[in-house]
Amino acid sequence: MASVYILYSKNLNRFYIGSCNDLSQRLAQHVNRDFEDSFTAKTDDWLLFFSVTDLNYQQARSIETHIKKMKSVPYIENLKKYPDIITKLRERYQ
């Protein structure tokens, strides 16, 4: 099953939003800087801020795109605060 995840770097004071099929493997890739030219290679202090699991891959990609289009730190913080937002996104992007 696929996941949408949000990482946070205190050093950069930035969020990173992504989706994948294997969350633990993908998180390790970010922390280990497996992709030298990627945004997350800029620092090694990425922490998992939030994730949504048990999605099909297309659903995960759609939710990732939706979150990125919002371009809003408060929106990202509200995803964690208000679980109903995720419930509605799951329904919207079935």
Helices (H) and strands (E) in the chain, counts: 4, 3
Q: How many CA atoms lie within 13 A of 73 on its CB side?
A: 4
Residue with structure tokens 């993908």? Answer: 26
* 3-class DSSP assignment, residue 44: coil
Confidence of residue 60 (pLDDT cuts 50, 70, 90): very high
Q: Is 3.40.1440 the CATH classification of the domain at 2-92?
A: yes
- Cα–Cα dist 33/39, whole Å: 10
Q: What does the pLDDT look like over 5-47, one tens digit per residue?
A: 999 999 999 999 999 999 999 999 998 889 889 999 999 899 9
User: Domain boundaries in the chain?
Assistant: 2-92
> Taking the model in full, what pTM does it have?
0.94
* 3-class DSSP assignment, residue 7: strand
